[in-house]
Amino acid sequence: RKEVEQDPGPFNVPEGATVAFNCTYSNSASQSFFWYRQDCRKEPKLLMSVYSSGNEDGRFTAQLNRASQYISLLIRDSKLSDSATYLCVVNGGVGNFNKFYFGSGTKLNVKP
């Protein structure tokens, strides 16, 4: 079983739409969670960390559900510039807190 699983998409949405991605992780001992954004043929860049209480950054909201072991990302009022692949990242459990596992990414296409 993969450590982190994501729906690869693509999600094709019009500008202004709200879109949500989920990600599930297998290790219940994982402690830190992130969403990274990756543009085509570029390096990943941090979008936001995901805290237990959930967190919001402008149009982006991240939630963590430890009981069900999933992480979500909500994007409101989608912009053309949001088109990218979104990577879910989770750290390892006890003894592996400095190791990170990436999902295969969810591709988002925002259309005019």
Partner 1 sequence: NAGVTQTPKFRVLKTGQSMTLLCAQDMNHEYMYWYRQDPGMGLRLIHYSVGEGTTAKGEVPDGYNVSRLKKQNFLLGLESAAPSQTSVYFCASRERLAGAFNEQFFGPGTRLTVL
Residues at the interface with partner 1 (CB under 8 A)? 4, 8, 31-32, 34, 41-46, 49, 51, 87, 91, 97-105
Min dist CB 43 to partner 1, Å, is 4
Nearer to partner 1, 60 or 100 (CB): 100
Nearer to partner 1, 81 or 98 (CB): 98
Closest CA to 21 of 39, 33, 35: 35
Min dist CB 76 to partner 1, Å, is 23
Min dist CB 32 to partner 1, Å, is 4
Nearer to partner 1, 12 or 31 (CB): 31
Nearer to partner 1, 99 or 111 (CB): 99
DSSP annotation string for 23-73: EEES-TT---EEEEEE-TTS--EEEEEE-TT-EEETTEEEEEETTTTEEEE
> What gap in Å lies between CA 38 and CA 112, rounded to an integer?
21
Question: β-strand 11-14 against 106-111: which pairing, if any?
Answer: parallel
